[in-house]
Structure 1
Amino acid sequence: MVMEKERGAGTDEARTREVLVIGGNRYFGKRLIARLLAAGDRVTVLNRGSSAPPAGARQLIADRNDENSLSDALGSRTFDVVVDQVCYTPRQAAIARRVFAGRTRRYVMTSTVEVYEYEDSLTLVREEDVDPRTVAVDLELPWDDQEFLESHYGEGKRQAEAVLAAAGPGFPYTAVRVAHVLGGEDDFTGRMHHYAERIRTGEPISVPVTNRSATYIHVEEIADFLHWAVGEDFTGPVNAASHGLLTTEELCEAVAARFPEGRTVLRPVEVGEVSPFSFTRSYGMDNSRATRLGFTFGEVRHWLPGAVAETLGKGGN
């Protein structure tokens, strides 16, 4: 695993940076773009054109799955940093690696805690537990099939990281392995509302018989982290998670505080679908590498009540 520096040296903040953001027009992506613009960066957003970029950002329209389309849209443009918010497969990573080689000094890919899905450990996982240089890549898998992609989300991200890592020092990249994100009135996932509706009505909440804890990060904190990572020069994977672990029960307690007349009923199940934030294995990430590099994380239990209030709104649900 490439870890060139244990302290990020940063960049010259006095110079306006050219930053390309691929996708990421909503949720923490739009917050990242707002931070970049506020810092005086020139921001270009590349997407398929289904949504306009935030005010102040430029737009390029292309299909990132089509190498010719991507190259044509970029033309002769170069960037200080590329932030890839929507790289889900090794095929997409391979196209990006070819197209952006020589176009950028830094490539930041948003990855996921799900790359650790095969690490069955109660200890916090570290970046070296999944070294992308050792991950096998299979470009022939049906990555274009949406059902396959959704059921292999972690594997797709893991192999995408591996493709970028294989490029070597000539393609400086970092893969930000993001914990489960909470908070924000614009949380489109519906996961918090899943709990709110069941607690409000007393409907049972399905959890595994052995239900493990996980690490989380607030939507504003991950936007802060990505903005910080844009200005650093470390490479390789890095875990991004607030301090502390939460169980499903603790999440339910925070939601239940919004519904004093509600009732929390947890139903352990041996097989079958379970609620969104319940896990048969631990999804706890060690964030010490990012801390050493200079980022300060918050405490999950400090921001959780506010995150619940933001997501559920004044009415609770």
Structure 2
Amino acid sequence: MSKARETLVIGGNRYFGRRLIERLLAAGDRVTVLNRGSAPPPPGAEHLVADRDDEDALRAALGTRTFDVVVDQVCYTPRQAALARRVFTGRTRRYVMTSTVEVYEYEDSIAPVRESDLDPRTVVVDTGLPWDEPEFLAAHYGEGKRQAEAVFAAGPDFPYVSVRVAHVLGGSDDFTGRLAHYADRIRAGEPIAVAAGNHPATYIHVEEIADFLFWTAGQDFTGPVNAASHGRLSTDDLCTAVAAQLPAGRTVLREVEVGEISPFSFRRSYGMDNSRAVRLGFLFGNARQWLPRAVAETLGKDR
């Protein structure tokens, strides 16, 4: 009988992170979840409490533990990546960082972007920026992830993967409020602000990204990989799907040149090419096929 895989999940104890943990447990992994104690992990997982930004506390919590794979759901800055690299070098055979489509914020292309369009080894890292300030971090989310990837990619001695996740939809536990934004306005017939020249984007269902991270944990490839369902969705597509759940509502789109726009409305393209993951063996669904289900799941509690 083979030994159970030792897996550590850092943070990510809700939404698709919780689904990932459940999949790992169901597969027979010995799962350890490390967070600051804000929420317990699903039953069956060991719980370690530490602040991942405190290196001494992190080392103390881990003790002498080693892992087959670490899945880092909450690495947002190059400082966090540098600390993690110091702590986990020689302690894990595989390090999976959950990254984002937002790392492509400077690669404005109508064609879906490939991983090679952003080589993290070419990204300049600046740990002196005010990464600890919440407002700065929120305004530089994509840049923080870019630089975090760059830290992990520096040198061949750290077997890392960065999963560049498309915009996630679905689930009754979607805490982002982004689809609710559309539902509220469609119910009331209020204008929905969208960008002039609005671009479509790639998306992934909450269950599918949990499946993808679980699959990635068991593979041996390294480097960046895009995770997105097939096909792109526009704001019109999202509104149509939401309106189908709210037949008494009315959709009113208002284009704006400058100023705040609705979530999932984009002044530039955020389409990702998923062909690397497909070649490696992952089977994605089609966004248009699962979109009605995702909207129904998310809005079910409001209907």
Aligned pairs (5 A) from 1:254-273: 254-273=241-260
**Structure 2 residue 187 is the aligned partner of structure 1 residue 188:** no
SS in 1 for 2:232: coil
Which of 111, 129, 151 aligns to 1:163? It is 151
1:314, 1:51 → 2: CA distance? 22
**Structure 2 residue 13 is the aligned partner of structure 1 residue 58:** no
**Structure 2 residue 126 is the aligned partner of structure 1 residue 102:** no
Q: TM-score, normalised by structure 1?
A: 0.94
Partner deviation per Cα, 1:201-254 (whole Å, 9 max, x = no partner): 100000011100000000000000000000001000000000000000110000
Q: Percent identity?
A: 77
**Structure 2 residue 233 is the aligned partner of structure 1 residue 249:** no
Which 5+ residue runs of structure 1 have no aligned equivalent?
1-12
2:110, 2:2 → 1: CA distance? 44
Match for residue 172 of structure 1? 159
1:228, 1:315 → 2: CA distance? 33
TM-superposed deviation, 1:169: 2.4
Aligned pairs (5 A) from 1:218-257: 218-257=205-244
Partner deviation per Cα, 1:104-130 (whole Å, 9 max, x = no partner): 000000000000001111000000111
TM-superposed deviation, 1:290: 0.2
1:315, 1:73 → 2: CA distance? 41
Aligned pairs (5 A) from 1:12-31: 14-31=2-19
Match for residue 132 of structure 1? 120
**Structure 2 residue 199 is the aligned partner of structure 1 residue 212:** yes
Match for residue 284 of structure 1? 271
Q: Which amino acid aligns with 1:220?
A: E
Q: TM-score, normalised by structure 2?
A: 0.99
SS in 2 for 1:157: helix
CA 1:80/1:144 → structure 2, altered by over 3 Å: closer, same or farther? Answer: same
Which 5+ residue runs of structure 2 have no aligned equivalent?
none
2:96, 2:85 → 1: CA distance? 12
Aligned pairs (5 A) from 1:37-116: 37-116=25-104
Partner deviation per Cα, 1:74-129 (whole Å, 9 max, x = no partner): 11100000000000000000000000000000000000000000111100000011
1:314, 1:169 → 2: CA distance? 47
Conserved in 1, the CA contact under 8 Å of 2:172 and 2:301? Answer: no
1:223, 1:241 → 2: CA distance? 12
